[in-house]
């Protein structure tokens, strides 16, 4: 989950929709939002709508993403990742803080406070705030121990990495805390975010490693079971 220039290590999160949904709620997002598996690029109609963000877990063999040749929209919230194995939490930060206009976050929750205190900071300064948050340390540690598989050690090398796709100002944007800036792929609407993100995942990630099976696509969605 990427080794960063920092001595701080976290236990990586499991790509488990139920665990990640509970983590999202503990960080402050209303229970009307949850995370679900995207079972297949051919079964996108089964995913609840609206889709607020798409999260990809993929094998980290090299920097797959290209440098962006398109202008990054001004309103994109981007945070660097400087804690090893923190990519799952950074992916959730990107998913939520780029959708604060559409999601309900509880007052004085972690996300609410972090958004208000870091909105006008640089990506590197936001990363420093993540590093220094004792509240986030505790929450991440709690949910990294949950899931169906045994949690790895903090200093264990993990070759899987989470990134986030969002729609911002009618652009499809990839957010990866390892990179210097977001990657803009082209036109997008909130309604077709899932389709456009899946197209990029297939073309830019899966097609380059056709024998690899460790890809997992998740969607942050409106939870139809909660009124």
Q: How far apart are CA 77 and CA 225, in angstroms?
A: 29
Q: How far apart are CA 192 and CA 186, in angstroms?
A: 12
Q: Is the dihedral of CA 38, 40, 45, 46 positive or negative?
A: negative
- Which residue is catalytic, options 79, 105, 140, 161? 161
Cβ atoms of 197 and 169 within 8 Å: the answer is no
Q: Is 105 a catalytic residue?
A: no
Q: How far apart are CA 10 and CA 154, in angstroms?
A: 5
Work out the angle at residue 31's Cα, subtended by the Cα atoms of residues 200 and 111, and round it to the nearest 5 degrees. 70
Q: How far apart are CA 138 and CA 11, in angstroms?
A: 11
- Which residue is catalytic, options 79, 87, 105, 167? 87
Query: What residues are labeled active site?
Result: 87, 161
């Amino acid at each position: 989950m990427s080794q960063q220039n920092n001595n701080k290590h976290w236990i990586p999160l499991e790509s488990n929709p139920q665990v990640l949904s509970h983590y999202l709620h503990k960080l402050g997002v209303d229970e009307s939002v949850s995370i679900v598996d995207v079972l297949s690029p051919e079964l996108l109609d089964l995913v609840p709508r609206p889709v607020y963000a798409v999260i990809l877990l993929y094998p980290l063999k090299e920097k797959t993403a290209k440098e962006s040749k398109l202008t990054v929209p001004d309103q994109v919230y981007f945070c660097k990742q400087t804690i090893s194995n923190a990519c799952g939490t950074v992916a959730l930060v990107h998913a939520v803080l780029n959708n604060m206009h559409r999601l309900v976050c509880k007052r004085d929750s972690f996300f609410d406070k972090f958004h208000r205190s870091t909105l006008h900071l640089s990506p590197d300064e936001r990363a420093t705030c993540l590093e220094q948050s004792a509240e986030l340390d505790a929450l991440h540690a709690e949910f990294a121990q949950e899931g169906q598989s045994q949690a790895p050690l903090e200093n264990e090398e993990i070759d899987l990495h989470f990134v986030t796709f969002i729609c911002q100002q009618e652009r499809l944007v990839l957010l990866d805390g390892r990179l210097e800036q977001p990657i803009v792929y082209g036109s997008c609407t909130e309604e077709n975010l899932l389709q456009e993100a899946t197209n990029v995942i297939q073309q830019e990630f899966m097609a380059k490693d056709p024998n690899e099976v460790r890809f997992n696509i998740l969607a942050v969605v409106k939870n139809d079971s909660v009124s």
